[in-house]
Structure 1
Amino acid sequence: MSSPDTPLLPRRTVIVAVAGLGAAAACGPAATPSTDPTASVASSRAAPPPTPTREPRPVAPADDIPVGGGRVYPDLRVVVTQPSPGEFRGFGIVCTHDSCELNAVKNGTINCPCHGSRYAITDGSVVRGPARTGLRTEKVAVQGDQVVLL
């Protein structure tokens, strides 16, 4: 049992506890959890961060891309095709079979020199293996008379 002169808590414990409460109060509301039920809803409605955009990069004059065919642009890592007049498509330059660089667009397909994979100029899907998955698509558009990579 304790006597009336003996404190129930050591003096040091009380001082540390009071100092900690004072420090938390000094930090303001950011240090304490919100009891406002709308606070979490409002923060979940915040706009997502903007996606980085890049400037359109010119690829070639639209007239340089043959209708029913296309061209490979190794420096830009893109293949641009024109399956029908005025319809331009873009694809990555890397074969999905063994990561070789595609080198030609002939006879309506995008061709890989390494193992013979062929891809459709319309959507980059596999026409002939050994590749099993289609090409990565790239966004292209026509601005003025130029095809640009977006």
Structure 2
Amino acid sequence: MINAARRARPRPARDADVLAARVPGEARRSPARPGVHRASAGRLPGLGDVLLVLDELAVNAIRHTRSGDDGGRFTVDVSRDVAGVIIYVTDEGGPGEPRLRNLAELAEGGRGLLTVDALAATWSWTGDPKSRIIRATFPAPSPREM
């Protein structure tokens, strides 16, 4: 199912920078994060926001899907082109659906998608209980912002 979902994603333009990583679903720092930082160094305004959203989506994949089970994995794809940056995190699905939580019901956790919602221009998801793709976009800055 993951391969079928992966094919459904639009491919980046030929002049795009692309990073893809298949990551073990373990509760430790994502090995994709340093790769994103190296691939984008000096060329990506807003890198801090992109990395924070990547971290939140990786943690959500580990905590809320089968990607966090023994042997579980998730895939991170980051592309950058003239339009901006797109992050895709493909997980192994689970019983629930990604949703924004109400601030009133938050305890210690539950802020991951609120952070994604605040920092990304858009985010969405597609999938089913077997596989899910979360997408977050960051527009390229205007020439005046650079």
TM-score where L is the length of structure 1: 0.25
Structure showing greater Rg: 1
Larger relative contact order (Cα-Cα within 8 Å, sequence gap ≥ 6): 2
